[in-house]
Amino acid sequence: MSTPTTPSEIEKIAVLADSAADQWAATPARVRADALEAVADALDAAADTLVPLAASETNLADGRLRGELKRTTFQLRLFAQMLAEGSYLDARIDHADPDWPMGAPRPDLRRLLIPLGPVVVFAASNFPFAFSVAGGDTASALAAGCSVILKAHSGHPELSRQTGEIVAGALAAAGAPEGLFTVIFGTEAGRIALQHPLVKAGAFTGSIPGGRALFDLAQSRPEPIPFYGELGSVNPVFVTRAAADERSESIAHEFVGSFTLGAGQFCTKPGVIFVPRGSDFTDRLTEVQLPAAAPLLNSRIQEGYCTSLTALQQTGKVRVIVDSEGSLSDPPAPSILATTIDAVLEDPDGVMAEVFGPTALVVEYDDENQLLEVARIIEGQLTATVVGEESDAIAPDLLRLLAKRAGRLLWNQWPTGVSVTHAQQHGGPYPATTAVTSTSVGTAAISRFLRPVAYQGVPQTLLPDELRDDNPLGIPRRIDGVRSA
């Protein structure tokens, strides 16, 4: 077990991170891109060491972990590619215009995004590579030009230590400044680091209570800072009557495959599915062979799962329809519960509470208009899924309402599996996240760690290269309102 980082050590780390952030922000984007590529190469080269270590600390299978490590190095390389292209800077130039029609001359104004500074990243437990030490938050912050203080997750401490050494070593070999990336250990160390005056942002993936506590700390500082927390989501699925009548068997099989994937420990697990009363969907579910019981990530996750599942069962508003023997055992067998649409409408927060693990809730509705009622009252979600037919009369209104509640809408697909792309959105209204305008997956995640600065009347020789008229970096810009290539 790694020794908790002390307050005096955090002070030194924060000072170094602040100095490194200044140097890294001034480092050309192509050099930062090369450094990200070097980190990706080093992680790939260490796969045979890191994967067995991750398996020993998380109970995750070799194949799953190797796939996740590939995703991790892929997203590092994707950010490197984006840095070379330059559009993430959102560079804008408005030349001086004495006849500007607002009624006064327009001065010469030039705007771009610059790095925030040191960032504290809190690693997640359920993705020990992709959302941990070298995960998306780290990749996007480093790409933006920020330094990173990484608070390791207690669920995989030795993996965190070794991964951190690989990342720091690769960055140093690529010429990055000392202190650009540091791993710290211990819950209190994370709190202290987040409150350090030199830290300018925080990022977190985990539970609602933990994330909200850190968000409140970030906001209560003398200088409040942005805190990008991914907290909780039940990712509801809405099945129309036409879809249930047409393909209930395939929907049932796909649903089980999705909510049991990774023993139900994905933040995008579809935890609640709405189906029409009178369809044979529930019967089809009972015919699906559930996976065998699988160990959860660690004892804390196991305890939390049993507590949440027991609390849901004790509401008196749900019944068991598929219960493998040992649903509360260690490891827990998958189970499926059911309730009515009336119970959800009366107590949406209680009945649709997140249960992080291999269980799901089926809600039977009487009229499709009740789906619109649910869409109006549910909490913020990472995803919402509609399983339907294009001819469904309810589809346009349902998608419109769900867009107000979720960050990603799916049509006849399943939310588990979050592709790392330029157009991805992994975030949503609270309590899914604490920052509804941002994403933690995809290249748009870089914007979390950048802020805009406008230069007015500054001579060409003193402007950043990105804003000079001759555009020496060749990046796309918006000039006098017109987007340039």
Known active-site residue 267: yes
- Distance from chain centroid for Cα 101: 43
CB contact at 8 A, 151 and 120: yes
Overall residue count recorded for the chain in this entry: 485
Q: Contact, 288 vs 306, CB < 8 A? A: no
Closest CA to 335 of 248, 263, 249, 413: 263
| Helix (H) or strand (E) segment spanning residue 110 | strand 109-115
Torsion (CA) 453, 447, 43, 77 in degrees, nearest 10: -90
What contacts 24+ positions apart, CB below 8 Å, involve 248-251?
Answer: 248/279, 248/280, 248/281, 248/284, 249/284, 251/281, 251/284, 251/387
Marked catalytic residue, from 37, 57, 254, 267: 267
Query: Cα(403)–Cα(399) distance, rounded to whole angstroms?
Result: 6
Beta-carbon contacts of 336 under 8 Å, excluding residues fewer than 6 positions away, are: 256, 285, 320, 321, 322, 323, 359, 360, 361, 362
Residue 185, CB half-sphere, CA atoms under 13 Å: how many? Answer: 15
SS (H, E, C) 117-182: CCEEEECCCCCCCCCCCCCHHHHHHHHHCCCEEEECCCCCHHHHHHHHHHHHHHHHHCCCCCCCEE
- Residue 274 CA to residue 288 CA, distance in Å, equals 18
Scan for tokens 């009515």, then name that residue. Answer: 340
Q: Is 249 a catalytic residue?
A: no
DSSP letters of 220-280? HSSS---EEEE------EEE-HHHHHHHHHHHHHHHHHHHTGGGG--TT---EEEEETTSS
Which residue, chain included where needed, has tokens 């992994």?
426
Q: Which of 230, 368, 379, 466 is catalytic?
A: 230
Tokens for 159, please give them.
């993996």
b/e burial code for range 378-399 (CB count within 10 A of at least 16 → b): bbbbbbbbbbbeeeeebbeebb
Active site residues: 230, 267
